[in-house]
Structure formats: C-alpha cells, structure tokens
Structure 1
Amino acid sequence: MKNTMKKNLPNADVFTKKLIAVAVPLLCTLPAHAFATENTQNLEIYVDQNTKQIFSEPGQNRVKMGVFQPVTAQKSSAAGSDNARVQSSIVKQASAADADNAKVKLGQNGVGFESEDGQFKFNIGGRLHADATWHDNDKFQKSGEPLEAHDGTEIRRARIDFRGKLWNDFNFQTEADFADNEVGMKDLFLNYTGWKFGEITVGHQKQSISMELQESSNDIMFTERSLVNSLTGPLFDRAIGLHFKTSDKDWSGQLGFYGDSMKSNRSNSNKGSGKADEGFGATTRWTIAPINTKDDVIHLGGFAGYRSTNGKGELNDNSPSFGYETTHMSNLKLTDTGNISDIHNANMFGLELAAMHGPFSLQGEYVKTTIKRDYGLPSLDFDAFYVQAGWTLTGESRTYKGSDGEFKRLKPGTRFQLGKSGWGAWELAFRYDQNDLSDRNIHGGSQKRATLALNWYLNQNVRLMADYSRNFDIVGSPVKALNGGQPGDVDVITLRTQWAY
C-alpha cells in the first residue's frame, strides 16, 4: 500500500509508527466496499484527537491522518513490485514499532519487563529472612574449653535475584546473597528449554539430589532444614556443572555432572599444599506422583550421588567433615565428625516419600552416605532421616509441582488486611529427625530432635515463622557437659520474618 500520511501533527513520526502497527493488519481484512472511490479504491484514515481511536470516516474532533491505497493483482508487475516494496517498508516500520515497546509488570513476583513479542523477559526479585534465636541448657565444653550457643538476631538471608528469558528458549538466573554482611553468589546459570525431550542447565546451581535440599528456603515449613542436611549439605549443595532434566506434569528425571563450588581455589602456589585440582561430583534424582491433583498428592522419589575430593582434600570446597549447627548463628554443633583425613570419595543414596490430602501433608527422607578412604583405611557409613507433617489450619492445600518433584510455597486463600475479613493462612507443622555420624574411629555422635512450627502467611510474599525444637538423646558427641558427661536436652526457639518476591 502507498502511505501518504500527514506530517503536520505533533509527534507525527512516533504516532505514525504506532498507527501503522495497528492499521496494517486491519487493512488486510477490510472488504472492498470500505474503500472510498470506485476508481482508486482509496481508504482514508482518521484519528480522534482525545481517544486516539482510528476511524474510516470523518467526524467531530477527528483529524485525517492519510490515505491508503490497496495493492491489487490487476496492476502491472512493475507497479506491483513498487507497491510490494512500500508494503514491505510499512511492515518493517510496524515491526520496529513493536520492538520499541516493552511491557512492565509490578506484582507479587517482583518487577518484570517483557518485550511485546514475548521473546525477552527480565525480572528482579529477592528475599529477606530476619531471625531471632534463643537456646536453653546450652553451656558445654569441648576439648576442655567452654562452649555456648550464640543467641540473638541475624539476617539469615538477604538476596537479590535477577532472572529472565532470551529468544524464548534460553533462561538465565543470577542470585546474590548479602547475609553476614558479605557478598556470596548462589545461582548463576543459563538454562536451555528449546530441546523437546528436556532442558539443559550450565553454571552454578543446586545439584540434583534430595527433595528437601532442592526445595527453596522460601518454601520449607521450618526455619532450618532437617538433620539429613548434615550429610547432603557438605557434599551436594551448589556447584558449577552441567545438568540435564526431563519431566512431565507428574514425574521428573535429573542427571548432573559437577566440579566444585564458585569458591576460588588459591592453593596453586608455593604456599599451602600446592594442589589445586577440583573435585568431581555426579548426581541423579527421579520422582513420580501417581496421584497429583490440586488437593491430593502421592510422591515417590529416589536419588544417588558421588563426590570426590579436590587437591586439598575438601568436599565441594567444604572442609572434609559432617555436622549440624543448631541454628545458622549458634556455632553449636551437637554432632560433628571434625575433619576426616584421607577421604578418597563419598557415595550417597536416598529415598523420598510424600503425601497430601487437602490441608494435611506428610513428607520424609532417608539418606545413607559411605566415605571411602585412602591407604587401606576402612570405609565409614553415616545415615540420617526425617519425617514431617503439616496441617493448614485455614484449609488451604500446599502447592506441589510434579515436574520438579517438590512442594512450593503455600498460597493463602485470603490475604491479611487489618480490620477486614482476610487473615491469610495459618500452618502448623511437626518434624522428627535424627542422624548418626559415628563409625569406626570417627566419633561425630548422634542426636534426635523434635520440632514444632507455627507459620502465618500474611499474603504470598510475607510470612512470619515460629519454631520450637528440642535436641535429645545426644550420644557420643564431641561436645560434653560441664561435668564431662553427655550433653543434656537442648531447647531452641527461632522466630523469623520473611518477605520474598
């Protein structure tokens, strides 16, 4: 079509681009009788100065924008060629106008930007976990030195999250944590979803092992993960690697190969051991949900992992040890193997089981780790498990995602509004867990723990949490009572204010 649009309106160039983007597809569908004259078959375009609506007839407050002429099959090939070039130019202008536009969204998922064609997205999110903790009966000794849990307040997590989409098939995420008044990188990866069979992720990421470890700290029902984490955490937290995943609505399969974490290796010098080689890890996790509806879920899963030490004898850049800190800030480990020398590699396997019926849910895992050592030293076996139950007092069901094989954050049916009927969601949870970190000549001890949690979800972004836990039956621990005997029961209270978007 031949565009003879007027140039005398304010901001005509900008408006013309927007007009073309709307008008071109409309013109292609107009019937022949819509054109003004019999001979030229021209279409006149008018725009309302206030509403910016487009009309094909003059009227009050309407300004004529131009005259369009259709491309017809009866015209000569030369004329058709010229009109085709004009039409192509119009289409290109419309595409340019589309590319210049971007949608901006602000909501419960943070601040988002999206191109008009949907192929590019960028989102800014974050989280804050502010904790306060108290211990009772926590005065001990270790190696003859007095030891006491640290109580008080801390920013447990303070993260900024950048994620987005490139050309529709590539996803990226960069997440930085500022807790402890330091900067640490969490997720930093590129994910490709254009492969029909599955997806591929490369970069710094969570390793594919354990339901509880893969669940976000924003979503778990307790302020701290279970005693299973005394084994999974040191071996299979985040690392740099290549991860494959295939899934459907009710099942998932994952396989990953990893080096160590992002922590820099500074030992390749004339200081220290002089050894700088990274360790190696591989993990796999498979899940299936034979029942998976909004209110009813049965989840079955299993996982396995392998990890070798690096040149300094570390496990994924962590000290070659296993233990559990009562809270993140306490510096009190009632079970702790200390550094285990001459580790060659570690193998792990685990089982998962979960179920949900309406507001009630159950979840549990068992994990066993075998440590193989050099120089003919005997292998070591450690294990741990947990069982937890949740009850949403306000009736909501937890959110389960079968393609990930994990539970997501509870979504309240109503949000809290002071003076109005909405009170958010209330959740009561109980967990029993235990570990055993003693074998042969390694005396890390064993412990049992029971935890009661009350969570208030004011809305989908804000949650208040209160945990009470008792650590008991502490046997063989490197931590001793002041009289040299086994530690007694230790009570812990944790309060958290969480916002995440």
Structure 2
Amino acid sequence: MSLLYQRYLPYVVLGLLFLPGFSLAEPAKKNCDSLFCYSSKDDFFQFESGTRLQLDRGVFINDSRTDFDNEWNVRRARLSSSAQIGEHLSIDFTYDFARDDRSAIRNAFIRYTSANNTRFTVGHFKEPFGMERLTSVQDLAFLERSLVSLLTPPRSLGVELHKHTHHWTAAAGMFTTGTESSSNDTKFGTSARVTFAPQSDAGRIVHFGLGIAHRNTDSQQEVRFRQRPETRNTDIRLIDTRTFIADSYTYLGIESAIARGPWALQAEYIYSHVGKARINETDSGENIHFSGWHIDLTWIASGEPQPYNHEKGTFGRLRPAHSVQHGGWGAWRLGMRLSELDLTNHPITGGRQQNLTTGLTWVLNRNISLSSEYVKVLKVDGGEFTNASPAIFQSRLQIIY
C-alpha cells in the first residue's frame, strides 16, 4: 500500500466515523441512505452523494511454492453521486480513489426508465451477465467474488435495454472497451441475460438465469486470462495463461439460487469459448475453452430473511433487524464457498485452481460492517504454481454512506 494511504487513511476513517449521524446513528431522512441528499420542493430534482470505504488486511500462510507478503490494502475508496430528474431520467457517476489508473471511473451513465420498468442506459457500467458479477460488492456474502468471475465481462462503454418485473428480468446491450478492460481489449461486444424467479419474496426465493457475452478482437491481438486466489491483498496470480493470440471469445453462463428464511444456496457455471487461440502469429490456431463454477451456502445467524433485488435479479443487501445503536446485536452472516477455474486447454496451459472459502460478516448497522475470511487453495494443477496450496486469512472494515 502506498505511503500516501498509510499516512492519511487513519484520519479519513476517523473523520467518517465522527461525521454527524454517521457511525451509530440512523440517517435523518428515512428515504435517504447517502451522506448528502438534496431535493427540490416539488421533488422534480433529487441529488444524492455517498461514500464507500473498504479497508482490508491479509495474512498469508505460504507453502513451498508461494511467497506472499502480508498486506494492508485500501480495497475501495469510492465517491458516488446520482441525480434523478423528473420521473424517468437519472444520472450516475462513481469514482474510486483506491485506483491509480483509468479504471478509477466505475460508473458514468445516463438512464431513462419508463413507467413499465423498461429502462435504456448509455455510458459506462456493468454489462448484463452473471448473478455474482451483478451483485454489488457491498451486498456480497464474501470479501471477493469467486475464481470464475474472471470469465465475465468487465464494466464497459455501451448501451443497454433492460426490463424487469417481480418475477423476471431481461437485459441486452452492445459494448466496446471500457476503463476496466485489461489486455483483453476488444473492438465490439454484446451481452445479454435473462432471469426467472417463480418465488422472489425475502426469505423465499427460487431463481434461475442464463447469460451470454461475446467479444471480437483484432485477428492479431494478444489476450490473457489470469486470476488472483480470491483476495486483492496480493498481485500474484496462481493460474495464468500468459499472453496468446485469439480472434474472439464467448462466455456462456448458467445460474441458480434458492433461499428459505435465513438460508441461501447459490451456484453458477460459466463456459468460455476462445476462437482461433494460438501462441504465434504464424500458427493457424485452435478453438479452445475455459470453464469454472462456484457454489455458495450462507446462513444469516441473526435470523433476517435472505433479501432479493427484483430489479437486478440478484441477492440484495443484508440490513439488520436490530442495529447496534438501538441496543441490538446487528446482523450476523456465515458463508462457505467452493469454487474452481480451469484455464488449461491445449495449447494453452494456464492451470486449474480450486478454492474453499469460509467467512463471517457482522453488520452493525446500515453503514458499518466487519468481515473475516479464511481462504484455502485446495489445489493448483499446471502452470508456474502447480501443486501450490497456500491459505489466506483476510478481514475487512466496510463503511458505506
């Protein structure tokens, strides 16, 4: 972590904690969870601005194949602003100060929403693909998304048409390279997702979904697939294809989830088809595939029902029934996840990794939560770190307003 963060972060945290009404008090306006809210007298114009701070600590148990360093990490330090103009038009902008490259701009879009919940979005935002990918980071049951999240499209510049009801969602869009793209930059791509939830009330959820995303690349463009071991407290990737040339790649995703009361089970499988993969420009290339999956089991020990976001077709945010400032114990959630990602298919040998993650989250109130996790790399087959099996203890302080 940079010297700047080390020097000034404690003062930022203390300042946030002692903001009037921030730490252990509910917002003055029940309909406003943000740090700053403004509304015109006729409510035609509404403006909100909020913050999101995530401070992580990672402690590694290395084996003979790894040499991770224990790290503090400002995972996210975001400032977001949104405006609602009339009943249909909205604007959103989010900037992440924890990033020092072009990916610092997270969201920057304009959206028109009709009266029948059909919306048209243009700008920079998440593409419609994957239940885990579309779940907000502040609503995830774990500190990081699973290994297979690598096989999902990033935030991108584009347009999207989205429709939702109480039981289903449908979205499709056309996109080009965004600020979150890496070496897999593309000229053009499309993404689409549909979900169906015959039961979608809090604590009683049955969810199914399908997604597809396609990317075209230049015929001589290098691409690379690599993944961290479900932690951002290191830049080391245990599985890595290195750069190779490909003409295109397509993601196909299947997702499902079920919840009964405080219990929830979620699973996803993603298959990636890579067209004309080759090591050298002179090779003819072969069509190859990568794949991965994850299974999550969570239990809200404090008894709150598992929430569901009907608009996004994802699990929603856990809000404690009895916040600490009201004399309660907040909300407690335990989770276990098994995940796998396979990046090996001749002639590419990126490796195959499997992880087991267990975690505990304490949500004190709607603004503050504490999380702790144990991530065990069960195995790595192939690649530079073959047979590696390190473990990671990581924790997070999250402040949202």
Query: What is the TM-score normalised by the length of structure 2?
Result: 0.86
1:343-388 Cα distance to aligned partner (Å, 9 max, x none): 1110111100001100100101000001002763111110000000
Q: Relative to structure 2, which stretch is displaced further, 193-202 or 305-314?
A: 305-314
1:128 corresponds to which residue? 53
Q: State the Cα RMSD in Å.
A: 2.1
- Give the deviation of 1:312 after TM superposition: 7.5
State the alpha-carbon separation in 2 of the partners of residues 264 and 464 from structure 1: 30
Tell me: higher relative CO, structure 1 or 2? Use CA pairs within 8 A at least 6 residues apart: 2
Give the Cα separation in 1 of the matches to 2:115 and 2:201.
27
Q: Within the alignment, does 1:151 sit opposite 2:51 as a pair? A: no
Whichever of the two has the greater Rg, that structure is: 1
Report the equivalent of 1:242: 159
1:324 counterpart residue number: 227
Residue identity in the other structure for 2:301: L
- Equivalent in 95, 100, 112 of residue 176 of structure 1: 95
The CA distance in 1 between the partners of 2:200 and 2:324, in whole Å, is: 29
* Distance in 1, Cα, partners of 2:306 & 2:398: 18
Paired residues of 2:147 and 2:228 also in contact (CA < 8 A)? no
Residue equivalent to 1:338: 242
Q: Is the 8 A contact 1:398 1:411 kept in 2?
A: no
Q: Structure 1 295/165 Cα, relative in aligned 2: closer, same or farther at 3 Å?
A: same
Structure 1 residue identity aligned to 2:389: D
Bigger strand share: 2
Distance across 2 between alignment mates of 1:437 and 1:299: 28
Question: 2:377 maps to what in 1?
Answer: 471
Give 1:416's match in structure 2, choosing from 324, 335, 338. 324
Asked if 1 retains the 8 angstrom alpha-carbon contact of 2:126 and 2:155, the reply is yes
**Structure 1 residues 70-469: aligned runs within 5 Å:** 105=29, 108-138=33-63, 140=65, 148-180=67-99, 184-194=104-114, 196=116, 198-232=118-152, 236-262=153-179, 279-309=187-217, 313=221, 320-326=223-229, 327-341=231-245, 343-373=246-276, 376-417=284-325, 421-469=327-375
SS of match in other structure, 1:212: helix
Q: 1:450 to 1:263 in 2, by over 3 A?
A: closer
**Offset of 1:329 from its aligned partner?**
2.9
Residue aligning to 1:492 = 392
Question: Structure 2: how far apart are the matches of 1:472 and 1:295?
Answer: 32
Q: 1:208 to 1:304 in 2, by over 3 A?
A: same
| Matches of 1:263 and 1:368, distance apart in 2 | 21
The structure with the largest helix share of the pair is 1
Q: Structure 1 length as normaliser, TM-score? A: 0.69
Contact 1:324 1:336 in 2 (8 A): yes
Quick one: distance in 1 between partners of 2:377 and 2:82?
39
Tell me the distance in 1 between the aligned counterparts of 2:352 and 2:150: 11
Task: Give the CA deviation at 1:182.
Answer: 5.8
List alignment gaps of at least 5 residues for structure 2: 1-27, 278-282
Equivalents in 2 of 1:497, 1:369: separation in Å?
A: 34
Taking the aligned partners of 1:494 and 1:192, their CA distance within structure 2 comes to 40
1:315-354 Cα shifts (integer Å, max 9, x gaps): xxxxx1112112213122111111122x111011110000
Deviation by residue 1:248-301 (Cα, 9 ceiling, x = unmatched): 111100001001113799xxxxxxxxxxx9511100000011012222000010
Shift of 1:421: 3.6
Paired residues of 1:360 and 1:390 also in contact (CA < 8 A): yes
CA distance in 2, matches of 1:403, 1:160: 23
Unaligned runs of 5+ in 1: 1-103, 141-146, 266-276, 315-319, 480-485
Counterpart-to-counterpart distance in 1, 2:392 and 2:145: 14
Could you tell me whether the CA contact under 8 Å between 1:139 and 1:149 is conserved in 2? no
2:120 alignment partner AA: I
Q: Secondary structure at the match of 2:247?
A: strand
**Residues 64 and 388 of structure 2 are in contact (CA less than 8 Å); yes or no, is this contact kept in structure 1?**
no
Q: Is the 8 A contact 1:412 1:424 kept in 2?
A: yes
Distance in 1, matches of 2:284 and 2:220, equals 19
> Take 1:500 and 1:159, find their aligned partners in 2: how far apart are those partners?
9
Give the drift of 1:408.
1.5
